[in-house]
Amino acid sequence: MVKHEVHLRSAEKLRDLCFKNGGIYIKLGQHLGQLEYLVPQEYVITLRESMLNRCPVSSYEQICEVFKRELGDTPENIFAEFDPIPIASASLAQVHVAHTHDGQKVAVKVQHAHMTETAAADHATVELVVNTLHRFFPSFDYRWLIDEINDSLPKELDFLVEAKNSEKCVENFRKLSPHVANYVYAPKVYWNLSTSKLLTMEFMDGAHINDIKTIRKLGIHPHELSKLVSQTFAEMMFKHGFVHCDPHSANLLVRPMPSGKRNILGWRKPQLILLDHGLYKELDFDTRTNYASLWKALVFSDVSAIKEYSAKLGAGEDLYVLFAGVLTMRPWKRVVDQSLDHLVFNGTESEISELQMYASEYFHQISELLRRLPRVILLMLKTNDCLRAVNNSLLQGSSLDTFFIIGKISSEAVIDVKMSQSKSLLSWLNVRLEKILLEVRLWGIQIVLWIYQIRKALSWSDQGLV
């Protein structure tokens, strides 16, 4: 109890310090809030919950300065209506609701004043602190976090990059994942009202992904939504190689499919709306293939493949067990278990305390692992942590479907690569046979899941839309 209160007070002081300094410090706090495999839960909860869309706001006068500098006029003249009170505020910007002169309702994202000017000095200060701590305490090595912020922050500060990322994401689904494309949406960009510091987008009505009560009122079942989230990001990671790396609850909205489509039980089909496209990572061909192969191995408990692809991704041959644990948040004995639900996390107190124990016991090894891994894989870990938090809010844990979807899409991606690299008829036939055997295995798992879901669906129907 005393330990909990000490951690909680320290986390609140750290949050207040980040808020006071703003900008990069809030960004750093957000990163720390995602490291649930490394820092105590009190830090995760405090930093994650308070730093998504409730950050300090810029004054209306400061917002007007940005408008005059970027578009040459005040918000009142540029828009027919402009609400001076922001509906959300994050580390780098805040969002206002406005109406264009032709009556379109839009969301206007405005960068906090002087962010670009202060970013370099703030980065240098944080870098000095982290390097000094590492010098006196060699096991405290968070220089990788500074490197990541140094790489990603300039891109996040350029809202035109964000706008292009948004359009590229939608195009990838249209071309590479047409079966999912209608279920994933990104707001339309108003290019004539956007600059590097100011972004005008279509206003989106929807429920935040952690607002279970509203989601149910919309006629959408959280389980269906969880599957869509898993499928969306698995397609990005394993097939597109272009990944939205900040999918926390403030950046994900849901609404019913505009077509009104329903499933066989009468629940409305969800459409996932992706917001804040500032932080994306591209996975090159080898990284994408190795990452897909690793997740395939994790889902199917293939120890030799876990070891092989962990090493190829930078974990080395000595830390593959730890890498598997960080990716799945499950102990090694569960990772290698052959049971269908071996990776499922139910979020019980015993499971959470077990994770905290491992985080404390292997703190130095985890720090070493994070130091070794390429930055692109560190961003995949961050993305996984965000998605895990989303699943926890939707399902109070993870589900069999989550890992079935990951296993299916990662396996399809690996097979596609092998097919494209087949040089002879014999190798093509071998890959074709592997694909058939995989599909049979997946169908077997799917049948088990259907039986399980039908049994649960009967209880959902009894509960109604409560």
Give me the DSSP letters along 286-339. HHHHHHHHHHHHHHTT-HHHHHHHHHHTTSTTTSHHHHHHHHHSS-HHHHT--S
- List Cβ neighbours of 380 (8 Å cut-off, separation of 6 or more): 237, 243, 245, 281, 283, 291
Burial environment of residue 442 by CB neighbours within 10 A (0 to 12, 13 to 18, 19 or more)? middle
What pLDDT sits at residue 466?
46
Token pair 């290698």 in the structure block, residue: 336
Same domain assignment for residues 148 and 294: no
**Could you tell me the residue range of the domain that residue 18 belongs to?**
2-57+114-156
Please give the C-alpha separations between residue 347 and each of 172, 355, 403, in angstroms, as whole numbers: 34, 10, 16
Same domain assignment for residues 309 and 458: yes
Same domain assignment for residues 150 and 288: no
- List Cβ neighbours of 78 (8 Å cut-off, separation of 6 or more): 67, 71, 193
Token pair 């305390």 in the structure block, residue: 353
Three-state SS at 44: helix
Q: Is residue 23 part of a domain?
A: yes
The whole-model pTM stands at 0.87
Same domain assignment for residues 297 and 439: yes
Report residue 402 as tokens.
Answer: 């989550």
Token pair 């926890």 in the structure block, residue: 392
Q: Is residue 449 part of a domain?
A: yes
Indicate if 246 belongs to the active site.
yes
Q: Is residue 348 part of a domain?
A: yes
What pLDDT sits at residue 57?
87
The DSSP call for residue 51 is: S
Please give the C-alpha separations between residue 242 and each of 33, 100, 277, 288, 380, in angstroms, as whole numbers: 24, 32, 11, 10, 11
What pLDDT sits at residue 457?
61
What pLDDT sits at residue 125?
76
What are 17-69's pLDDT values in tens digits? 888 777 677 777 777 776 666 677 787 778 776 666 567 789 999 999 999 99
Same domain assignment for residues 307 and 446: yes
Separation of alpha carbons 170 and 187, rounded Å: 10
Q: Is residue 94 part of a domain?
A: no
Out of 156, 184, 210, pick the residue that ends a domain. Answer: 156
What pLDDT sits at residue 465?
47
Same domain assignment for residues 304 and 440: yes
Out of 156, 189, 216, pick the residue that ends a domain. Answer: 156
Same domain assignment for residues 298 and 438: yes
Out of 156, 182, 209, pick the residue that ends a domain. Answer: 156
What pLDDT sits at residue 244?
98
Q: Is residue 36 part of a domain?
A: yes
Q: Is residue 135 part of a domain?
A: yes
Could you report the average pLDDT of every consecutive run of 10 residues in the chain (466 residues)?
A: 77 82 74 69 74 77 95 97 94 94 97 73 74 72 75 89 98 97 98 98 96 96 94 98 94 94 88 96 97 96 96 94 92 86 73 75 85 91 89 79 92 92 84 84 79 65 50
- Number of compact structural domains in the chain: 2
Strand partners, 282: 242
What pLDDT sits at residue 443?
82
Q: Is residue 151 part of a domain?
A: yes
Q: Is residue 457 part of a domain?
A: yes
Same domain assignment for residues 151 and 8: yes
What pLDDT sits at residue 38?
65
Q: Which of the residues 122, 158, 246, 385 is marked catalytic?
A: 246
Residue whose C-alpha is closest to residue 152's, from 367, 383, 325: 383
CB of 284 within 8 A of CB of 242? no
Residue whose C-alpha is closest to residue 267's, from 465, 399, 449, 401: 465
Residue whose C-alpha is closest to residue 414's, from 285, 326, 308: 285
Same domain assignment for residues 443 and 307: yes
CB of 250 within 8 A of CB of 209? no
